[in-house]
């Protein structure tokens, strides 16, 4: 019986192993694309299906970190705007004073999602099966308010669990895949990156 308990505990630990090595952006940064997506994503969430416990399945992708996108949200009232419009430094190692979260994050996404080695495969897995990006693919910021509101509420329900809010989000779309970043939401210095398809079901959550 003791061996069986150890076996079951090892199976659980294996599903939550921290993955991947250190991320380094090097001296040359990639040019950020500034396209935006104003098209609403249809909400096909089945409210009769129990939500996965993503709060306990956050995977650590290792640093350095961009941090969380900063906003004026203080947790006292729901935001008036759900797609975060401001763009300051995220507070992590990769976000020095004067930098812009969206620009740094878009460049970081292009680097890791276009990586063809095990490093890139690992990051795409941590982000829930994010697609591999080629030079022809665009990383587009989503600015449709209804989509941002639904995504923010799903992240709050399945990951954050804040009583007031949720905070506004930054969302990037690559094809039919969304990667969302809730503002002012941190684990230490790290922010959350939430991967989901356009059905708005969470596929993976990374802290970075």
Q: Are 66 and 94 in contact (CB under 8 A)?
A: yes
Q: Are 151 and 196 in contact (CB under 8 A)?
A: yes
The pTM for the full model equals: 0.73
Largest CA distance in the chain: 58
CA atoms within 13 A on the CB side of 7: 4
pLDDT score, position 68? 87
Burial 111-141 (b: 16+ CB within 10 A, else e): bbbebeeeebebbbbbbbebeebeeeeebbb
pLDDT score, position 114? 95
Q: State CA 127 to chain mean position distance.
A: 7
Local confidence pLDDT in tens for the 208 residues of the chain:
444 443 444 433 433 333 333 333 333 333 334 456 555 544 333 333 344 357 667 776 655 667 888 898 988 888 989 999 888 766 665 555 557 889 888 988 999 899 999 888 888 998 999 999 999 999 999 999 999 999 999 999 989 888 888 899 999 999 999 999 999 988 766 889 999 998 999 999 988 7
pLDDT score, position 175? 95
């Amino acid at each position: 019986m003791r061996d069986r308990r150890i076996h079951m505990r090892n199976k659980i630990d294996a599903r939550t192993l921290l993955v991947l090595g250190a991320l380094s952006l090097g001296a040359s940064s990639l040019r950020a694309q500034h396209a935006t997506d104003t098209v609403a994503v249809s909400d096909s969430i089945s409210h009769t299906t129990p939500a996965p416990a993503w709060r306990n399945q956050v995977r650590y992708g290792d640093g350095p970190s961009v941090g969380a996108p900063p906003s004026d949200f203080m947790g006292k009232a729901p935001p008036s705007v759900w797609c975060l419009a401001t763009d300051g430094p995220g507070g992590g190692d990769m976000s020095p004073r004067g930098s812009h979260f969206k620009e740094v994050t878009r460049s970081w996404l292009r680097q890791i999602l276009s990586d063809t080695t095990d490093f890139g495969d690992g990051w795409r897995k941590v982000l829930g099966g994010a697609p591999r990006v080629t030079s022809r693919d665009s990383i587009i910021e989503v600015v449709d308010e209804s989509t941002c509101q639904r995504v923010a509420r799903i992240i709050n329900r399945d990951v954050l669990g804040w009583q007031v809010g949720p905070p506004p989000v930054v969302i990037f779309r690559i094809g039919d895949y969304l990667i969302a970043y809730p503002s002012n939401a941190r684990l230490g210095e790290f922010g959350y990156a939430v991967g989901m398809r356009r059905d708005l079901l969470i596929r993976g959550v990374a802290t970075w």
